[in-house]
Every structure is written in structure tokens, then in C-alpha cells.
């Protein structure tokens, strides 16, 4: 059996305990809720877009160490990115945690994507993949739905 | 037909386990899953129990030697199959001490048993404004069927709260009983916390008010002797896979006069006497409620599981699980930062807990790494979790095959989880 510390790397445990950008944005331009019916976990992702660029991003919610760390790391890599870049990062991350074929990213973005590497341990634990992607699905819903505050389910 | 198998426990054994005359280590050898997973600590029997060889072999033997459809053929094989299927019904009758074999309806599981009552007895017996009383302890399967009925015919669903210790608040329960209460549907052992409901008292109070009582016996049937006549309940539901039997089969006990007055809930073969395009005459209970080819092998497997339980001894199992529950409460309570969900005056077989600062799925993941299988989440009892202001818990649940070593391994694994996620 795989060492559990490959799933729960130090960076995951750290972000799980002390999530970054764990706050509400009072007047977001975009926000959405993510819900994982399997475990009842909920996350809300808030965005402030300045034109095409993510000026601020934050989250709130209650979840396991993986989902909390995933949301925290997501907010860190997304700040200052364009919508297109955010979607490219999600596509690449999704492929890496589900064992798909990750697309090539341009150099600076590829370096950002590397920061999500500690989360890819979930691919050995199929039941936990959704924990890692929940906040990203909420991000996607926020980008689509704007300020309507939709709820997206992982299944 | 198979000959009777050798006794499961050659003689009452003492000293091995904590219950008198009961050795879980020896019993464990009857369950092939443990031979095939030698290091497994299985603490998820409340979700589904493991299967003894007697059940697995009986079902395979039945398919090999006696299989044919039931209640149909004139040929001898079909007659034999029918006999075995109906013999399984007798075993369920004995297991519940029902007065009459016609009071036992085969269903898929407890969920289906409750839905049968809700969909057949419900509309035939209830009118808008009538009340069905349940409790906060219920599994979703004893909540949602009543909500569906409420939305269909306009009854009211009333919920009895818990007391500060996590047990059913009998005073508040009684206060919610009224002449409008037509049915009390309540669990005997709560799957979310292990709280034992004093159903004898519930039945008395309910009957005094003229209400019928349905007991969800999913968690009680595998753990304690059940006597529906002594209880005086009107319906009792159980599922096969939690009493060490196969999945896909369960039973509903219903008092015969009630079943006889209930309309069919599903139509098809088996449940009819005579069909023309104008009119169909229905069978009497229990066949009226068993449309279509039943899970014959499942019923026979369930019968074998009930034989197995009787052979081990239901009092032995109860005594063993009570002692082991006590041991588990004692060990877990000593873990700083662990909050065991209250189960009132009496808890049986289920230990549900919250570990401060650690999500149940993270706990369960670390436990799995240590080969300790538990359930994490809301246990299909979200209102109960909400009562404790939690979205979920980690739940360890016992079977007859567990012993103190399993609890010790659980405790060690919980401590490992605390170490990993500690601040």
C-alpha cells in the first residue's frame, strides 16, 4: 500500500490546518457554491474580476484536509491570472488527478501548476479525487454564473 | 437438500472473548473474508455484516442442487425450491416470534419494507391532517418514505426530539402523541449513534393513543432477540445483509389483520389469484405483496443466516456486543479531543465520534491505512448529525466477530490520525 504521507504531504497538512485566503469577499463579481453529496462537504468560492483578470479570490467552507488544502492552493495560484489561464490550470490539474493526459502549459503557467503537484497523490485514492477538485468545480461555476451564486455538485 | 452442518461452536467456549460462552476468535473462522484479509479490522457491520461460510455455501448449494422458480412448476424441482423458499419464511417467523407465517413478507431490504407500509397501508389508512410520528434518530429510509406520503396525501410528519444524553426524549415523544397520530415509525437501535430506543414503552404509549407502530429493526435484529408478539408492534422491518445474510433480501412483519386489509403496492405475477382484462383478484398476504419472481436464493441465504445466529445464540451475541460496546466506550472516551456522540441510557454496537479538528474522511483514510475499516460521513442520518451540530462522524460498528483487539487497533489508529493532523 502506498505511504499515506504521499497523500497527506506536509504542504497539504499545512494548508489543511491554516488555509490561505479563507475569507468572504464582501462584494464579489462572481461566486458559487460547491457541494460534495458523498461527504456533505461544502465550499464557496468568491472572485473579484478586473476585466479578464482575477484581482482577488477567496473561499469559505467546511471540508476535509484534502479539500481545504486544494481550495487554499487554488486561491494562491489563481490570483492575478486571466480567466483563460485559470481554465487551463484546471484542465491540467483535472487531468493529473484523474490520470488523464495533461496538456502542455506555457512556461510561467507550468510553474504555477507545479505548486498543485502535492495534491496529485489523490489519484491513488479514487474516493478522494472529488475532494481535490470540488473548489475548482465551484470556480468553474462561478465563472459561468457570475454573481448568481449557483451550486455545483461533484456528482 | 443439504444435510445439517456441523455445529459452529463445538461447545460453549469460555475465556477467549469477553462475553460468557462466546469466543469471537473462533467465530471469526466461520467468516472466509477474514481468512482472505488476515489483517482486516472490520468495524462497519452497521453498514453491512460479513457473511459466514454457512450462508455462502447454502446459497451456492441451492443453485447447484435445488434451483427452480417458485410457486409455479408442477415438476418436483420447482416444488422443492418452493418448499425451501417457504421454509425460509418460517425461519424469519421464528426469528421474530411472529404468530403466523403469513405475517412475513419478503422484500429487498428495510427500505423497501418501510416503503411498502408507506405506500400500501398509508393511503388506505390515512387522511389529510393525520400524523406520522418519527424521531430524530431515524435513518433516511424511515424519513423519506413518510415525506413522500406527506406530499402525496397531505399527512403531517411529526418528529420527536432527543434528550441531552442523545436518547429519545420519552416525555417529548409522549407530548407529540395525539389522537391525530396514526402511526409511530421508529428505530430500535439508531444507526448513527447506537442509541437503543425502549420500543416496549413506545408501543404501549402509542397504542394507548390508538396509533400503530412500525419498528425499524435494521440494527437491532442482528444484535438482540426480537419478539414481535411480546413487543406488540404492528410492523417490524429488517434487512438480510445486516443479519449476516445476503444483500437484496429483507423482511417485513405485519400483523395479519393489518396486512389482510392492505391493498397491493406492486402488481405482477405471484401476487394474483385470477386475472382478466376487466378485473384481477389478488392473493392473500404475504404473496399479495410479493409481485414477481422473488430473490429465492436470497431468502434461502437469509434463512441460513438466521439459523447461524440462533446457533451462536442471540443472547450470547447481545451479551458479547454489549460488553464490547462498553469496552469501546471506555477506550475511546480516554482519547483527548474525541467526542463520542451520546446515545442515551443504552448504546449497542455502534460508536460514532467526532475527532476535534480532523474531518471524518481524513480519520477514515488514516484508519484504512491501518487496515481498520469504518464508515465516515452522515450515515444516511443527516437530521441526526445536524442534531449534534455535525455534518458527519467517524463510526465504528460491531459484529459478533469483533473482539477487544479490534477496538485496540481502532484506538491506536485514531491516535495515529490525531498525530498526523494535530496542530
Alpha carbon separation from B93 to A61, B38, B75, B302 (Å, rounded):
50, 36, 27, 12
Of B361, B377, B423, the CB nearest to A17: B423
Residue A133 in any domain: the answer is: yes
Per-residue pLDDT tens digits for B6-56: 455 544 444 444 445 678 889 999 999 999 999 999 999 999 999 999 999
Residue A1 has pLDDT above 50, yes or no: no
pLDDT given for residue A147 in this prediction: 80
Domains of chain B in sequence order? 24-51+313-421 (3.90.1150.10), 62-310 (3.40.640.10)
Residue A152 in any domain: the answer is: no
What distance in Å separates residue A121's CA from the closest CA in chain B? 13
CA-based torsion, A98, A104, A108, A110: positive or negative: positive
Residue A155 in any domain: the answer is: no
Any chain A CB within 8 A of the CB of B377? yes
* Separation of alpha carbons B399 and B406, rounded Å: 11
Average pLDDT over residues B208-228: 98
By C-alpha distance, the chain B residue nearest A126 is B365
Any chain A CB within 8 A of the CB of B17? no
Residue A150 in any domain: the answer is: no
* Separation of alpha carbons B417 and B366, rounded Å: 6
pLDDT given for residue A107 in this prediction: 84
* Separation of alpha carbons B36 and B59, rounded Å: 20
Backbone φ and ψ of B233, nearest 5° = -70, 160
Of A38, A62, A64, the CB nearest to B362: A64
Domain count, chain A: 1
Of B361, B378, B420, the CB nearest to A64: B361
Per-residue pLDDT tens digits for B125-171: 999 999 999 999 999 999 999 999 999 999 999 999 999 999 999 99
SS3 per-residue string spanning B185-252: EEECECCCCCEECCHHHHHHHHHHCCCEEEEECCCCCCCCCCCHHHHCCCEEEEEHHHCCCCCCCEEE
**Residues of B labelled as active-site residues:** 380
Residue B260 has pLDDT above 90, yes or no: yes
Q: How confident is the model at residue B337 (pLDDT cuts 50, 70, 90)?
A: very high
B280 vs B17 pLDDT, higher one: B280
CB B46 within 8 A of CB B350: yes
Per-residue pLDDT tens digits for A73-131: 999 999 999 999 999 999 999 999 998 888 888 888 898 899 999 999 999 888 899 99
By C-alpha distance, the chain B residue nearest A10 is B420
Per-residue pLDDT tens digits for A6-27: 899 999 999 999 999 999 999 9
CATH number of the domain encompassing residue A37 = 3.90.1010.10
pLDDT given for residue B21 in this prediction: 62
pLDDT given for residue A2 in this prediction: 58
CB A150 within 8 A of CB A33: yes
A148 vs B320 pLDDT, higher one: B320
Any chain A CB within 8 A of the CB of B420? yes
> pTM of this prediction?
0.92
Residue B410 has pLDDT above 50, yes or no: yes
pLDDT given for residue B423 in this prediction: 57
* Separation of alpha carbons B244 and B81, rounded Å: 22
Of A40, A62, A65, the CB nearest to B362: A65
What distance in Å separates residue A65's CA from the closest CA in chain B? 7
Can you give the residue range of the structural domain that contains A15? 4-145
pLDDT given for residue B14 in this prediction: 42
Mean pLDDT rounded to a whole number for chain B: 94
pLDDT given for residue B20 in this prediction: 53
Residue B226 has pLDDT above 50, yes or no: yes
- Residues in chain B with CB shorter than 8 Å from the CB of A63 are 359
Residue A39 has pLDDT above 60, yes or no: yes
**Would you give the distance in Å from CA A133 to the centre of its chain?**
6
- Residues in chain A with CB shorter than 8 Å from the CB of B388 are none
SS3 state of residue B79: helix
pLDDT given for residue A38 in this prediction: 77
Per-residue pLDDT tens digits for B371-381: 999 999 999 99
Residue B120 has pLDDT above 90, yes or no: yes
Average pLDDT over residues A131-136: 95
pLDDT given for residue A62 in this prediction: 87
Residue B123 has pLDDT above 60, yes or no: yes
CB B353 within 8 A of CB B339: yes
ipTM of the shown complex: 0.88
Contact A39 B369 (CB under 8 A): no
Say if strands B372-373 and B156-160 run parallel, antiparallel, or are unpaired.
Answer: unpaired
Residue A141 in any domain: the answer is: yes
Amino acid at each position: 500500500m502506498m505511504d499515506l504521507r504521499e497523500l497527506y504531504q506536509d504542504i497539504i497538512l499545512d494548508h489543511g490546518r491554516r488555509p490561505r485566503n479563507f475569507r468572504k469577499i464582501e462584494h464579489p463579481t462572481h461566486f458559487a457554491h460547491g457541494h460534495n453529496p458523498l461527504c456533505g462537504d461544502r465550499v464557496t468560492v468568491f472572485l473579484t474580476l478586473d476585466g479578464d483578470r482575477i484581482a482577488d479570490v477567496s473561499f469559505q467552507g467546511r471540508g476535509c484536509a484534502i479539500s481545504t488544502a486544494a481550495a487554499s492552493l487554488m486561491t494562491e495560484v489563481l490570483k492575478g491570472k486571466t480567466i483563460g489561464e485559470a481554465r487551463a490550470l484546471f484542465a491540467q490539474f483535472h487531468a493529473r488527478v484523474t490520470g488523464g493526459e495533461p496538456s502542455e502549459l506555457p512556461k510561467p503557467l507550468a510553474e504555477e501548476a507545479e505548486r498543485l503537484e502535492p495534491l496529485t497523490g489523490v489519484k491513488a485514492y479514487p474516493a478522494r479525487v472529488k475532494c481535490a477538485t470540488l473548489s475548482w468545480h465551484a470556480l468553474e461555476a462561478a465563472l459561468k454564473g457570475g454573481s448568481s451564486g449557483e451550486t455545483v455538485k461533484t456528482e | 437438500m443439504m444435510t445439517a452442518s456441523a455445529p459452529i461452536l463445538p461447545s460453549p467456549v469460555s475465556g477467549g472473548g469477553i462475553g460468557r460462552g462466546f469466543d469471537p476468535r473462533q467465530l471469526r473462522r466461520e467468516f472466509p473474508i477474514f481468512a482472505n484479509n488476515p489483517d482486516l479490522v472490520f468495524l462497519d457491520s452497521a453498514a453491512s455484516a460479513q457473511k459466514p461460510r454457512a450462508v455462502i455455501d447454502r446459497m451456492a448449494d441451492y443453485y447447484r442442487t435445488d434451483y427452480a422458480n417458485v410457486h409455479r412448476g408442477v415438476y418436483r424441482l420447482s416444488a422443492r425450491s418452493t418448499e425451501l423458499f417457504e421454509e425460509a419464511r418460517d425461519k424469519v417467523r421464528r426469528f421474530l416470534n411472529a404468530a403466523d407465517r403469513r405475517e412475513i413478507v419478503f422484500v429487498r431490504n428495510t427500505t423497501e419494507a418501510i416503503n411498502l407500509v408507506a405506500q400500501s397501508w398509508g393511503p388506505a389508512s390515512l387522511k389529510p391532517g393525520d400524523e406520522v410520528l418519527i424521531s430524530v434518530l431515524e435513518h433516511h429510509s424511515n424519513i423519506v418514505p413518510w415525506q413522500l406520503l406527506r406530499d402525496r396525501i397531505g399527512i403531517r410528519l411529526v418528529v420527536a426530539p432527543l434528550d441531552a444524553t442523545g436518547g429519545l426524549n420519552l416525555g417529548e415523544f409522549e407530548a407529540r402523541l395525539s389522537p391525530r397520530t396514526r402511526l409511530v415509525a421508529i428505530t430500535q437501535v439508531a444507526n448513527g449513534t447506537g442509541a437503543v430506543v425502549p420500543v416496549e414503552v413506545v408501543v404501549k404509549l402509542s397504542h394507548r393513543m390508538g396509533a400503530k407502530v412500525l419498528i425499524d429493526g435494521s440494527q437491532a435484529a442482528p444484535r438482540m432477540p426480537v419478539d414481535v408478539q411480546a413487543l406488540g408492534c404492528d410492523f417490524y422491518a429488517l434487512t438480510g445483509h445486516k443479519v449476516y445474510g445476503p444483500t437484496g433480501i429483507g423482511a417485513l412483519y405485519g400483523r395479519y389483520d393489518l396486512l389482510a386489509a392492505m391493498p397491493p403496492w406492486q402488481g405482477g405475477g405471484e401476487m394474483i389469484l385470477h386475472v382478466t382484462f376487466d378485473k384481477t383478484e389478488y392473493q392473500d398476504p404475504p404473496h399479495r405483496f410479493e409481485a414477481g419472481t422473488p430473490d429465492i436464493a436470497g431468502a434461502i441465504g437469509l434463512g441460513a443466516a438466521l439459523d447461524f445466529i440462533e446457533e451462536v445464540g442471540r443472547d450470547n451475541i447481545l451479551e458479547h456486543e454489549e460488553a464490547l460496546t462498553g469496552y469501546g466506550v471506555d477506550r475511546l472516551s480516554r482519547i483527548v479531543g474525541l467526542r463520542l456522540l451520546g446515545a442515551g441510557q443504552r448504546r449497542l454496537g455502534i460508536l460514532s465520534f467526532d475527532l476535534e479538528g480532523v474531518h471524518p474522511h481524513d480519520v477514515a483514510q488514516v484508519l484504512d491505512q491501518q487496515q481498520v475499516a469504518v464508515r465516515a460521513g452522515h450515515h444516511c442520518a443527516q437530521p441526526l448529525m445536524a442534531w449534534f451540530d455535525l455534518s458527519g462522524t467517524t463510526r465504528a460498528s460491531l459484529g459478533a466477530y469483533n473482539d477487544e483487539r479490534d477496538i485496540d487497533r481502532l484506538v491506536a489508529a485514531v491516535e495515529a490520525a490525531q498525530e498526523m493532523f494535530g496542530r
